[in-house]
């Protein structure tokens, strides 16, 4: 299979930024249905969401109504330091679909300040396939993450106030289950002691900080269907446990109404655009390695209500993001993908095949051949969803023609359509071949009728985890630590052991141990060290391996490259 002839065509001239009113109008929103945040961003009102059937009581007859758009889910192979380009591909695909005359919109997560200033850098795409205004989106944007942090820490403060004043129900200070949050990478806050300072300083106890993206409040924001559902979910958050093992919730502490008030504006989806003017709904930001890893269901539903094709993204590889999208996000949102795009790159595949990271620009057919096993693993995972899969081979400048042809041929041998993607260098024009393959997939897709989650709802955690371990990760067995077994008994007593499972696992391997490599070749066991109820979000978090809920800054954080220019522009966001 030959690479597309479009590769050598010149890149288009950079477009000028469209007025946000024009972008809103393309989605069919009138001026009363959105609120401007400066000249380049807007919030879509809850009234507009209700009028279009986007928002509403999820627990009503039949759940949320189905919407007319077709959904394309973008996921990827196992992440590497070499780069895959999932967000860039999502943006470029939406731009390409729009160039082909389709009404398209992209729905993505909001970046977290921690990674933006730490190791990962920004999360607004790259090159000619980017969101704008990138500096605002990557930093404070419309303040949604700050609102989540405030709501999270209001509950944390009310927990300690409850302990200080000896409120009822009597919360055991040793069994507080909800923790403080900060939208920053700060390893010094992973384990701390609070309540020092004598009788007026509160009850001394151990505490920990999560990064805001890992907060249950973030998950609640992204899975809530309207204001009432938001407050109800917040009320179900477990603050901790009594000495005799009964859960104490945010509703028990009276915290949910004020938390919902802090999140009222944050629940409204944000509207921006791509460099080519394609509408982009950027809202919510849970990580996929420690949470469910998808933007808000309201943003995705709005895209489905206003566009012919909605492109969305699941975090990290398909073993994390795509699985949770299928089993948690899609169920909460009342939608399902009609097609899946699996993003791979030659560089990443060679790294999975054992190539030296410093020599990735050199052709290495042997490493590439070995690395294709990781692509096959993710084709196996995504293929279980029952909808067509298209492979996007994200081209980097150093990729050799023979290497690209080998990946495309490998996909053809397996009967999987694939296309080169050059959206980083050429924007939507560089994604036309991919967009054509996606449209062909949508034409032959039965849509939601053929979509299959990875497990049935209502199964016990002890049945769900082995299913995921075998079908998705490829593990031989599940091993529970003593703490996990004690937590399981607690969940069973509280009637929470049949919720969906959100596995917190390293993103760098299909296993729970990154040292086993991206695609483990020997039998291995999934080790579950603890189980925690996120009753407000509606799932149980299974902590595996050495996953951290508060990252740390690298030796040279991205913050060292960021500068404020004289005209007020922020420069240096990676």
In angstroms, rounded to a whole number, what is the distance separating the alpha carbons of residues 323 and 547?
18
Asked whether residue 9 is domain-assigned, the answer is: no
Q: 115 is in which domain, residue-wise?
A: 47-56+65-142+268-449
Q: Out of 201, 229, 262, pick the residue that ends a domain.
A: 262
Picking from 423, 449, 475, the residue at the C-terminal end of a domain is 449
Which residues on adjacent β-strands are paired with residue 37?
A: 41
Is 491 inside a domain boundary?
yes
312 shares a domain with 241 = no
Question: Does residue 549 lie in a domain region?
Answer: no
Q: Say whether both 402 and 513 belong to one domain.
A: no
Under 8 Å between Cβ of 431 and 92: yes
SS3 461: helix
The pLDDT score that the predictor gives to residue 61 is 55
Q: Please state the φ and ψ torsions of residue 9, each to the nearest 5 degrees.
A: -75, 150
The domain tally of the chain equals 3
Does 219 share its domain with 98? Answer: no
Same-domain check for residues 116 and 161: no
Minimal CA–CA distance to 93: which of 408, 382, 436, 447? 436
Instruction: Read off the tokens for 268.
Output: 């409204």
Would you say residue 566 lies in a domain? no
Closest by alpha carbon to 418, among 444, 388, 398? 388
User: What is the per-residue pLDDT for 15?
Assistant: 54
pLDDT at 59: 62
pTM for the full model? Answer: 0.94
pLDDT of residue 473: 97
Residue 573, pLDDT score: 80
pLDDT per residue as tens, the chain (574 positions): 333 333 333 334 445 789 999 999 999 999 999 999 999 999 999 999 999 999 998 765 567 899 999 999 999 999 998 888 999 999 999 999 999 999 999 999 999 998 889 887 788 999 999 999 999 999 999 999 999 999 999 999 999 999 999 999 999 999 999 999 999 999 999 999 999 999 899 999 999 999 999 999 999 999 999 999 999 999 999 999 999 999 999 999 999 999 999 999 999 999 999 999 999 999 999 998 889 999 999 999 999 999 999 999 999 999 999 999 999 999 999 999 999 999 999 999 999 999 999 999 999 999 999 999 999 999 999 999 999 999 999 999 999 999 999 999 999 999 999 999 999 999 999 999 999 999 999 999 887 789 999 999 999 999 999 999 999 999 999 999 999 999 999 999 999 999 999 999 999 999 999 999 999 999 999 999 999 999 999 999 999 988 888 999 999 998 999 999 888 888 888 6
Q: Which tokens sit at 256?
A: 């949910």
Which of residues 231, 262, 293 is at a domain's end?
Answer: 262
Residue 515 belongs to a domain with what CATH number? 3.10.410.10
Tell whether 303 and 444 lie within a shared domain.
yes
Are 238 and 215 found together in one domain? Answer: yes
Q: What is the pLDDT of residue 438?
A: 98
Can you give the CATH number for the domain in which 207 is found? 3.30.1510.10
DSSP string, 70-137: EEEEEEESS--TT---HHHHHHHHHHHHHHTT--EEEEEPPPPHHHHHSSS---SEETTEEEESHHHH
pLDDT of res. 383: 97
Co-location of 292 and 429 in the same domain: yes
Same domain flag for 482 and 534: yes
């Amino acid at each position: 299979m030959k690479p597309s002839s479009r590769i050598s065509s010149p890149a288009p001239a950079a477009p000028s930024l469209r007025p946000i009113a024009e972008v809103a109008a393309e989605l069919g929103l009138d001026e009363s249905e959105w609120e401007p945040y400066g000249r380049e961003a807007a919030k879509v009102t809850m009234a507009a969401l209700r009028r279009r059937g986007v928002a509403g009581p999820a627990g009503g007859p039949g759940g949320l109504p189905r919407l007319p758009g077709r959904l394309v889910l973008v996921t990827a192979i196992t992440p590497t330091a070499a780069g895959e380009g999932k967000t860039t591909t999502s943006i470029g695909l939406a731009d390409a679909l729009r160039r082909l005359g389709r009404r398209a919109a992209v729905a993505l997560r909001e970046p977290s300040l921690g990674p933006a200033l730490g190791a990962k850098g920004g999360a607004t795409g790259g090159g000619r396939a980017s969101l704008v205004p990138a500096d605002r989106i990557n930093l404070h944007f419309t303040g949604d993450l700050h609102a989540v942090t405030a709501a999270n820490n209001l509950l944390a403060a009310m927990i300690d106030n409850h302990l200080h004043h000896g409120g009822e129900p009597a919360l055991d200070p040793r069994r507080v289950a909800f923790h403080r949050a900060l939208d920053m990478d700060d390893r010094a806050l992973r384990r701390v002691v609070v309540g020092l300072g004598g009788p007026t300083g509160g009850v001394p106890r151990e505490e920990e900080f999560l990064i805001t993206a890992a907060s249950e409040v973030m998950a609640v924001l992204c899975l809530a269907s309207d204001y009432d559902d938001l407050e109800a979910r917040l009320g179900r958050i477990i603050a901790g446990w009594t000495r005799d093992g009964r859960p104490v919730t945010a509703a028990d502490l009276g915290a949910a109404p004020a938390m919902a008030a802090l999140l009222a504006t944050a629940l409204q989806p944000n509207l921006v655009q791509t460099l080519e003017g394609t509408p982009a709904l950027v809202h919510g930001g849970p990580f996929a390695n420690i949470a469910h890893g998808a933007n808000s269901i309201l943003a995705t539903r709005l895209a489905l209500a206003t566009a012919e094709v909605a492109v969305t993204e699941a975090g990290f590889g398909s073993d994390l993001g795509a699985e949770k999208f299928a089993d948690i996000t899609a169920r909460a949102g009342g939608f399902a993908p009609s097609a899946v795009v699996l993003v791979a790159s030659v560089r990443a595949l060679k790294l999975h095949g054992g190539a030296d990271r410093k020599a990735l620009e050199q052709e290495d057919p042997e490493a590439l051949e070995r690395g294709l096993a990781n692509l096959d693993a993710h084709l196996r995972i995504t293929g279980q969803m029952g909808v067509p899969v298209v492979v996007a081979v994200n081209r980097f400048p150093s990729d050799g023609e023979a290497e690209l042809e080998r990946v495309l041929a490998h996909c053809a041998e397996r009967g999987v359509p694939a296309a080169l993607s050059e959206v980083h260098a050429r924007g939507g024009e560089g994604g036309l071949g991919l967009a054509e393959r996606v449209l062909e997939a949508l034409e032959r897709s039965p849509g939601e009728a053929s979509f299959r989650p990875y497990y049935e709802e209502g199964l016990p955690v002890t049945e769900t985890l082995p299913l995921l371990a075998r079908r998705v990760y490829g593990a031989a067995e599940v091993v529970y630590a003593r703490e996990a077994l004690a937590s399981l008994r607690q969940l069973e007593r509280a009637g929470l052991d049949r919720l969906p499972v959100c596995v917190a696992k390293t993103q760098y391997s299909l296993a729970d141990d990154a040292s086993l490599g991206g695609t483990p070749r020997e039998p291995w066991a999934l080790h579950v060290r603890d189980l925690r109820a996120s009753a407000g979000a509606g799932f149980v978090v299974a902590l595996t391996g050495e996953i951290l809920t508060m990252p740390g800054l690298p030796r040279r954080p991205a913050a060292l490259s960021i500068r404020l220019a004289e005209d007020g522009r922020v420069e240096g966001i990676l």
